[in-house]
Amino acid sequence: MHVGVQVKDHSGRKVILNPEKDLLMNLQENQGKTTKIEPCVAVFEGHEDGDLNGVRIFPDGKILSWGINDSVRIWDNNGKPLYVLDKHQNRREGPILLPDNTVLTWSATSLKMWDSSGSQVEVLEGHLKDITGAKIMPDGRILSFSDDSTLRLWTQKGKPLSILHGHKRGVNNAVVLPDCRIVSSSYDSLRIWNSDGQRLATIEGPNLSITSFKVLSNRRILTWHETLQLWDEEGQLLSSMEGHTEVVNDVQILSDARILSSSRDGTLRLWSKDGILEKVLEGHTAEVTGALELADGSILSWSFDGTLRLWSTHGDAIAIFAGHTRPVEEVSILPNGTILSWSRDWTLRLWDSNGRSMSVLDAHTGPITCVKVLADGRILSGSADNRILLWSPEGELLTVYAEHTEAVIDLEVLNAGKFISWSEDKTLRLWLIDENANAVYPASGTALTG
């Protein structure tokens, strides 16, 4: 049997260097178990200006990455740089991969299309101020919108079709519906357009402020800031849902079409599908940051007060999940129904459905920046401590990925049992999990939509 060389890591814990496999085994002496420290498979280097912001995966496995105020880069799946495209300025929304593998980027007042060899094939010009986003229509046409208060429709090849005038302020978002209708928003109004860009309806008012909106399955539109408002598709106000005393952070549409809102005022409110208040969910002592509906119809919420709370389908209090010492950031549900939460206290916690703490995942030494749940229930967590940790569904630390030199920003699970991470050190790194890690489990606090 091969015997490795015993050394110490940065925290003073004993580890074994195994030259045969070129990996480190962290000795968890208090549990009598070992934790593998896995080397990265490939390093993607080249980004220089600004933090990395995201990746896109091509159907053939190539990887596209972009940074804030930095170029868009395309790599093969082994980290070899293939092409460098132009800058992409949108922090929230990354470049778009079109069905023919063309890449759409935008910066300042123009959009650009690039073929699969990295060559620029078209420049889409016409906007007069910064472009704030773009969408692909169900029929393949391109929709762009801008701070110049207009939207523009383009052919699949990037040729101009029409200009959508009407907004009085910059357009900050747009949603394309399956029938190719468009709903666009600025801070104080929404507009509904047909598939050719002709205006169908306007939603506006002297006291209307819009933080966000959802298009519901019954073709109604729900807007919110501090007050929620329900509109029909003709732009007529159906219900003004008043009650919250501060800005609404999140809105979920439940399986029975009722509406659940959560607010900075520390409350959640349940509304009928027609906007009638049914219940005020009181108990949190600070801002409510999110909520989701569980499989049995009960509601789980989480807050800056460090707790999660479980409510019946009618909004009655059932349980308090206490343990976190700082605001809860997010929640996911594992495939076996276990509840996973993570917090600004640098820990993740596993809970049963009754609020009993099952495990505290406390190996991170900095803020947790990203979490992904694999289809088999294992958990990947990234942190500002520069590391990514792999946990069992029971909360046992399995593997440490520790070659980033600055905070981990996010990660994406790929096929073939690998994942890619990106960091404030301006690199992407490819890592191996195993052949069973080919998917991410979808249930999370941000997954429910209208």
Question: Does 418 have pLDDT greater than 60?
Answer: yes
Query: How many CB atoms within 10 Å of residue 178?
Result: 6
What is the pLDDT, as a whole number, of residue 137?
A: 95
For 236: left if phi > 0, alpha if psi spans -120 to 50, otherwise beta; the answer is beta
What is the pLDDT, as a whole number, of residue 47?
A: 87
User: Taking the mean position of all CA atoms in its chain, how far away is CA 277?
Assistant: 29
What pLDDT, in 10s, does the model give residues 149-206? 999 999 999 999 999 999 999 999 999 999 999 999 998 789 999 999 999 999 987 6
Report the chain's terminal Cα–Cα distance, integer Å: 58
What pLDDT, in 10s, does the model give residues 77-104? 888 999 988 777 665 678 999 988 899 9
What is the pLDDT, as a whole number, of residue 380?
A: 97
| CB of 304 closer than 8 Å to CB of 265 | no
Average pLDDT over the chain, rounded to whole?
Answer: 87
What is the pLDDT, as a whole number, of residue 193?
A: 96
Distance CA 280, CA 286 (A): 15
| CB of 363 closer than 8 Å to CB of 349 | no
| CB of 174 closer than 8 Å to CB of 145 | yes
pTM: 0.85
Residue 10: which pLDDT band, with cuts at 50, 70 and 90?
very low
| Of residues 47 and 151, more confidently modeled | 151
Q: Which two tokens stand for residue 369?
A: 């920046």
Q: Which of 209-213, 343-347, 440-444 holds the top average pLDDT?
A: 343-347
Question: Does 27 have pLDDT greater than 60?
Answer: no
Residue 185: name the closest of 225, 218, 158 by CA.
225
What pLDDT, in 10s, does the model give residues 341-394? 999 999 999 999 999 999 999 999 999 999 999 999 999 999 999 999 999 999
What is the pLDDT, as a whole number, of residue 26?
A: 40
Give the mean pLDDT of 215-223. 91
Range in 106-110, 143-147, 266-270, 329-333 the model is least confident about:
106-110
Question: Does 243 have pLDDT greater than 50?
Answer: yes
Question: Does 126 have pLDDT greater than 60?
Answer: yes
Range in 56-65, 260-269, 441-450 the model is least confident about:
441-450
